[in-house]
A and B are shown apart, each in its own frame.
Chain A
Amino acid sequence: MLRFANPANFLRLAAVLVPTGAVLSALTLTLGLYLSFFVAPADYQQGQTVRIMYIHVPAAWLAMFCWGTMTLAALGSLVWRHPLADAAQKAAAPLGAAFTFVCLVTGSLWGKPMWGTWWVWDARLTSVLVLFIMYLGLIALWRSIDEPSRAGRAAAILTLVGSINLPIIKFSVDWWNTLHQPASVFRAGGPTIHPTMLWPLLTMAIGMTLLFITLHLMATRNEVLRRRLRRRAILAAEAGDSRAMPQEA
């Protein structure tokens, strides 16, 4: 496993995994969308609006999964000082922000017809909004520090501190009285959703997870290349190569 943590080996592995992941996620998402729109029934209370669930719920899971991925990478940064862990951390933040944005917007679009409001300051919605703001803060932090290893350590600390929000999001519907419904899939006693709706939901979740993994691999590969470019530019600048010098605006 650690063999692939070498950046050169990672690039070789990514060259195989990225196209494979892209094909698998496209196939799974196509099946998931077909099941969500043409096989899953309308809800007896919500009608067709329940179809928003098939995009909203996987986006919410991935918003949290992405921070969990960053937390593991942050441990790799702080404990082993591994440059690939820094790259994985940095690459995940914009993806996490995108999935959290999708979760918030689709939740709002689902809330308006069902709850009669676009937004309420209940514990679940607020804690997910906090997650989105933390993603934006993390992206800003990465951009504000030039030296990659220093930025990686600062981001790792923020990520580890921010991971306290994950159990708050998960259990907010149990700990507080919220307008948002309680867990209906990952709960003690099993899912409460009928299999005709559960399978399309799980298919979409698998498809979006495969898509996230593929995009994360691609973005991590970009970060490895960015470091390689930085190293080449420094060496070229030291050798007096004008092509490596920063261009005047």
Chain B
Amino acid sequence: MSAHAWFILASYAIAALAIGGAALAIVLDHRALKHALAKLPASPDEEARK
């Protein structure tokens, strides 16, 4: 192990947490939006596009 292994591991761990956290937030937001949309009827313009 390098003398500076802690710095290398911390860099990759923080990057994974920050970018993974952003990705998780987007996925959870998508689920919540789909759930909320399912509770409301489609608007007339959405129906017309189907």
List residues of B (34-48) whose CB comes within 8 Å of A's CBs.
34, 36-37, 39-43, 46
Known: A49-B2, A221-B30. A106 touches B22 (CB 8 A): no
Candidates A56, A228, A232; contact of B11 at CB < 8 Å: A56
Tell whether, in the assembled complex, residue B14 and residue A102 are in contact, meaning their CB atoms are under 8 Å apart.
yes
Find the B residue at minimum CB distance from A94.
Answer: B22
Tell whether, in the assembled complex, residue A49 and residue B8 are in contact, meaning their CB atoms are under 8 Å apart.
yes
Known: A101-B18, A225-B30. A52 touches B46 (CB 8 A): no
Tell whether, in the assembled complex, residue A95 and residue B14 are in contact, meaning their CB atoms are under 8 Å apart.
no
Find the B residue at minimum CB distance from A112.
Answer: B7
Tell whether, in the assembled complex, residue B33 and residue A48 are in contact, meaning their CB atoms are under 8 Å apart.
no
Tell whether, in the assembled complex, residue B43 and residue A52 are in contact, meaning their CB atoms are under 8 Å apart.
no
> What is the distance, in angstroms, from A6's C-beta to the closest C-beta of chain B?
10
Candidates B5, B10, B26, B42; contact of A222 at CB < 8 Å: B26
Tell whether, in the assembled complex, residue B14 and residue A98 are in contact, meaning their CB atoms are under 8 Å apart.
no
Known: A51-B8, A106-B14. A231 touches B43 (CB 8 A): yes
Tell whether, in the assembled complex, residue A243 and residue B39 are in contact, meaning their CB atoms are under 8 Å apart.
yes
Kindly state the separation between the CA atoms of A92 and B26 in the bound complex, as whole angstroms. 11
Q: A205 interface residue, CB < 8 Å from B?
A: no
By secondary structure, the B interface counts as helix
Q: A40 interface residue, CB < 8 Å from B?
A: no
List, in ascending order, chain A residues with CB within 8 A of B23's CB: 215, 218
List, in ascending order, chain B residues with CB within 8 A of A112's CB: 7
Q: A158 interface residue, CB < 8 Å from B?
A: no
Tell whether, in the assembled complex, residue B18 and residue A109 are in contact, meaning their CB atoms are under 8 Å apart.
no
> What is the distance, in angstroms, from B39's C-beta to the closest C-beta of chain A?
6
Q: A182 interface residue, CB < 8 Å from B?
A: no
Kindly state the separation between the CA atoms of A232 and B36 in the bound complex, as whole angstroms. 10
Kindly state the separation between the CA atoms of A47 and B2 in the bound complex, as whole angstroms. 8
Cβ proximity bits A211-237 to B, threshold 8 Å, 1 near / 0 not: 100010011011001101101110110
**Contact residues of B with A, CB < 8 Å?**
2-5, 7-8, 10-12, 14-15, 18-19, 21-23, 25-27, 29-30, 33-34, 36-37, 39-43, 46, 49
List 25 interface pairs A-B (beta carbons < 8 Å), by A numbering. Answer: A47-B2, A49-B7, A55-B11, A59-B15, A94-B25, A98-B18, A98-B22, A102-B14, A106-B14, A106-B15, A109-B10, A110-B7, A113-B7, A211-B19, A218-B23, A221-B30, A222-B26, A222-B29, A222-B33, A225-B37, A228-B37, A228-B43, A229-B37, A241-B40, A241-B41
